Structure 1
Amino acid sequence: MDRADLVVVANRLPVDRVVDTDGTETWRRSPGGLVTALEQVMAKTDGAWVGWGGKADLDIEPFDFEGTLLVPVPLSAEDLKYYYEGFSNGTIWPLYHDVIAAPVYRRSWWDAYVRVNRRFAEAAAEVADQEGFVWVQDYQLQLVPQMLRELRPDLTIGYFHHIPFPAYGLYSQLPWRRQVLEGLLGADVLGFQRVADAGNFQRSVRRIFKYPTRANEIEVPAGDGGSRSVIAAPFPISIDAQAFIELSQRPDIRARAVEIREQLGNPKKILLGVDRLDYTKGIRHRLKAFGELLDDGAVTVGEVALVQIASPSRPGVEAYQDLRDEIELTVGRINGDYDTMHHTAIRYLHQGFPREEMVALYLAADVMLITALRDGMNLVAKEYVAVRTDNRGVLVLSEFAGAADELTTALLVNPHDIDGMKDLILRAINMPEAEQSRRMRAMRRKVLENDVEAWGRSFMKAVDAVRNKRATGAPIPREVKPTPRKKPRE
């Protein structure tokens, strides 16, 4: 098997398996945010991507896809139940999202997590070139960095954490807290979405291991009796802003945006929510606020419409099945109370859409509602801002989403404060165009400056600094250590 100087390790391969009506199997690029974020990084090299192929017990040989070597890691139905649905999404996901739902601690899940992480580490070790770089992605694979370091000490290892990292008071509840930190500290560079996440990680390391930390560096004992420096810093992820801008200029997509407004009965204002169906996204809180605005008579059906996209997510997890039932009951009740023969209060769509349709929806929406209870970043916020080349539209953004650190001229909302959310929704609906323009211009400038290519460059600059220190002993320059951003204005 060919070896690669850059290897990405993620839970999923960047492709979806498609079976045609005649039984022919092909692969197409996945539409997910991680794939999009890494697309430009991978395009600059003949790299490899290690990940699960998307189907239980799918055991196939590595293959080339558009210049990238894809290395499938087989997972059984039991692996998926215990490692993915169990430990990753029944233990780590709720714990790291501030225990919005109660995490479950099962030893059988942990055992599967260790076993599967080792399988990913072994696959990466086999495909990585001598002294290559391996970039591990996200919470499903937190043990891979240390396992990989033990297998291939010649490698430089990066890890990016796409979701929040919790405060020590929450993290300390994890029975395997030491093992997970040891796994992560196998990396040379650890990237987090927010200053607070990197700080939470460092505090956990200090509390549990007493390792010295200075700025964004952690001194970790090495096997030779010395120590090595690990960078743990914020590298807020972004989008390919230019690609979204180009889509927004296409005549067919702009025509589709007009058509969407017509299909909704040409209301004066369209509110839009776009989320995975997940309890962290605050969809229930958003619906409650909108329902109360209708109850109060502050908004009326026909004048204002809410479109809620809730793409399917983890249907095998009971908490998600319950959430879907609750949301659909709430939507049904509100629509039953307020719909007319010609207008619907909430257009609810439990399905995913291609990027072109999403851009048309962004262009059609007067107000974007992002009310996450906790979110690592939320790229939808940046996508909405990127396509609004007219400098119109209002972003209502949860202060608990990572994007709030950068998009400080959005209307920042505490989603737990229903009255406060109602006030901000009304303010967004009635915002003068001059204020919309001022706020949107500032946000668009931030998104265009800090796009996904800048994110990749920033992370790789830190990796190069670590490699240089290893080779020459030179200290890591301060400019590769991102400085904390200013606190958003209230």
Structure 2
Amino acid sequence: MMGTDRHAFVVVANRLPVDRIDGAWEASPGGLVSAVAPVVREQAGAWVGWANTHDDSLEPFDFDGMSLVPVSLSHDEHQQYYEGFCNATLWPLHHDLIVAPQYHRSWWRAYREVNARFAQAAVEAAETGATVWVHDYHLQLVPAMIRAQRPDIRIGYFCHIPFPPVEQMAQLPWRDEILRGLLGADVIGLQREADAAKARQAMQKVLGMDPEELRGRVGSYPISIDVDEIRAAAESPAVQEMARCFRRDLGDPATLMIGVDRLDYSKGILHRLWSFEELIDDGRLDARGTCLAQIAVPSREGVRAYQDLRDEVEHTVGRINGRFSTLGRDVIHYSHHSYSTEEAVALYLAADVLLVTSLRDGMNLVAKEFATARRGRGGALVLSEFAGAAEELDQAIVVNPHDRAALKAAIHHATMLSEDEARRRMDAMADTVAAFDVRRWAQAFLHDLRDPASAAALSPSDW
């Protein structure tokens, strides 16, 4: 890229903010896109990412006021870099070792090579003195790779998932390279202060970094949602009618509980299914008047641990329905496919209770969306204390999902709230979310990144 192809603001993420549908590009759903795309448009910036196609050499193209810069990946590279190192090594390492991370040198080589390709695309897209914002665990080597070629630009890095304790990070054979990769950034952002403290501790203990220098460069920036988009959907007559149809199709139960998650072992889906079953056994939930609708969005289907989880979830749902369903009416309705924003909001409006039972979660934006959609409508949110959202949504029924008795008590409590208390709690949570929406999150991070006094860049010799 040369001349007018260079930009003052460049975002680097694993995926471009578009999907190709029936031969045409359409905006992708998701929190990162709604958070960052408006900033890219406002500044006529560029977005570097994979186009979700294999072996294609796509040229940069414009979309909705953004310059999109595709990075090509072969099928083999995608398997080793993404399904392998990203999601069978790094993901479990960052999520409390719920499943054992796998360490393969071939995956590491693929990760390093793909990160170098992303970094080179960013270098070529950035004009002199540009701001480059790198996102998530897929690209942890990119900041230092960019810095090695372009000392003139400001580099930010944001990690959307939890950061592991130093004892877990130390297991990674390539821990030094990963941490040095992050330290190429001027500002390193994480979801919670606890995560930022773990990152600082790892850099101190593994690399011998100065704690005071890190304190000003590694901080917490809890991500949020597009409040206006969720509110608009909740007030849409079409979405409200969709909500009525959902509830009617589910048998119009006295109490409708929902779970809306990616199908991931970190989400605690089995824990909520087991607790739901035991509550019916205990007589605290009436199988004739209670329904659980579990939405499990497909995720990383090429990874064996996810295939095994899907099998176990579907077996568990079938077993519980076999015990408690009546002719023409299941107690659990299970769906394994993606939903649009409008469909998700319709589910929120249809439900009485949302169950968020994450065993480890960076934030959990579903909880924030639910509270926003249900402002003025009541309802209850059961929220894992291990989701980042629990630090902000203190009016939720916060619970340790590993404690089966406590989880059952929390779910039962959610069904017993008075209308006044439910509305008071929900409105307080919705106001908390509205006070710091996704645009304010982006503005806060970029303000600190663009202010040279907020964090001093390391020289290459310090890496």
* CA drift at 1:140: 0.4
Tell whether 2:383 aligns with 1:413.
no
Alignment partner, residue 488 of structure 1: none
Spell out the pairing of 1:205-220 with structure 2 (5 A cutoff): 205-214=203-212, 217-218=213-214
For residue 418 of structure 1, report the CA deviation from its aligned partner: 1.1
Matching residue's letter, 1:112: A
Deviation of 1:128 after TM superposition, in Å, equals: 0.6
Deviation at 1:33, TM superposition (A): 2.1
Instruction: Return the alpha-carbon distance in structure 2 between the equivalents of residues 461 and 440 of structure 1.
Output: 31
Q: Hey, what does 1:37 align to over in structure 2?
A: 35
Query: What's the CA shift for 1:468?
Result: 7.6
What does residue 346 of structure 1 align with? 332
Alignment-derived partner of residue 365 in structure 2:
379
Q: Using the TM superposition, give the Cα deviation of residue 30 of structure 1 relative to its aligned residue in structure 2, in angstroms.
A: 0.5
The yes-or-no answer on 1:333 pairing with 2:329 is no
* Corresponding position of 1:225: none
Deviations 1:433-463 (A, max 9, x none): 1211221122111100010011011101111
> In structure 2, how many angstroms separate the alpha carbons of the residues matched to 1:389 and 1:399?
22
Superposed CA offset, 1:179-234 (max 9, x none)? 100000000011100010000000011111221123xx428xxxxxxxxxx61100
Q: Is the 8 A contact 2:93 2:101 kept in 1?
A: yes
| Match in the other structure for 1:114 | 112
* CA distance in structure 1 between the partners assigned to 2:67 and 2:281 by the alignment: 56
Q: Which residue number in structure 1 is paired with residue 7 of structure 2?
A: 4
Check whether the contact 2:262–2:297 (CA below 8 A) recurs between aligned residues: yes
**What's 1:475 paired with?**
none
Change (3 A) 1:150 1:421: same
**What is the rounded CA distance, in whole Å, between the counterparts of 1:470 and 1:67 in structure 2?**
32
Q: Which residue of 2 aligns with 1:88?
A: 86
Q: Could you tell me how far apart the structure 2 residues matched to 1:448 and 1:291 are?
A: 35
Task: Give the whole-Å Cα distance in 2 for the aligned partners of 1:263 and 1:412.
Answer: 30
Q: What is the distance in 1 between the residues matched to 2:195 and 2:456? A: 26
Q: Contact 1:131–1:154 at 8 Å: present in 2 too?
A: yes
With structure 2 as the length reference, what TM-score do the two structures score?
0.96
1:441 equivalenced with 2:437 (yes/no): no
**Aligned with 1:144 (options 134, 142, 145):** 142
1:276 aligns to what? 262
2:345 corresponds to 1:359: yes
The 2-side partners of 1:444 and 1:466 are apart by: 34
- 1: distance between equivalents of 2:66 and 2:423? 41
Equivalent pair of 2:132/2:156 in contact (CA under 8 Å): yes
2:51 and 2:406 map into 1 onto residues whose CA distance is 44
Between the aligned residues of both structures, percent identity stands at 52
Aligned counterpart, 1:50: 48
CA-CA distance at 1:469 after TM superposition:
7.1
In structure 2, distance between residues paired with 1:143 and 1:366: 44
Query: Does the residue aligned with 1:320 lie in a helix, a strand or coil?
Result: helix
Q: 1:254 to 1:286 in 2, by over 3 A?
A: same
Q: Partner of 2:19 in structure 1?
A: 16
Q: Deviations over 1:340-364 (max 9, x none)?
A: 1142100000001111111110001
Unaligned 5+ runs, structure 2: 458-463
Q: TM-score, normalised by structure 1?
A: 0.91
Q: CA deviation at 1:80?
A: 0.7
| Aligned partners of 2:375 and 2:426 also within 8 Å | no
Which structure is richer in relative contact order (CA contacts within 8 A, separation 6 or more)? Answer: 2
Counterpart code for 2:272: R
Provide Cα deviations, 1:110-156, integer angstroms capped at 9, x if missing partner. 11111000000000000111100000000000000000000111110
Give the Cα–Cα distance (whole angstroms) in 2 for the partners of residues 261 and 10 of structure 1: 37
- Alignment partner, residue 123 of structure 1: 121
* Equivalent position to 1:59, from 57, 60, 64: 57
Give 1:264 shift: 1.3
Equivalenced residue count is 454
CA distance in 1, matches of 2:367, 2:456: 38
1:224 aligns with none
1:159/1:468 Cα in 2 relative to 1: closer, same or farther (>3 Å)?
Answer: closer
Q: Is the 8 A contact 1:257 1:360 kept in 2?
A: yes
The equivalent residue for 2:384 is: 398
Q: What pairs up with 1:255-334 in 2 under 5 angstroms? A: 255-334=241-320
Cα distance change of structure 1 residues 425 and 468 upon mapping to structure 2, 3 Å threshold:
closer
1:59-105 alpha-carbon deviations (Å, 9 max, x no partner): 11000001100000000111111111111001000001010000001
User: Is 2:443 aligned against 1:457?
Assistant: yes
Aligned mate of 1:231, from 217, 224, 232: 217
**Pair 1:333–1:470, CA change in 2 (3 A):** closer
Do the aligned partners of residues 470 and 291 (structure 1) sit closer, same or farther apart at CA in structure 2, a change above 3 Å counting?
closer
* Gap runs ≥5 in structure 1: 20-24, 220-229, 472-490
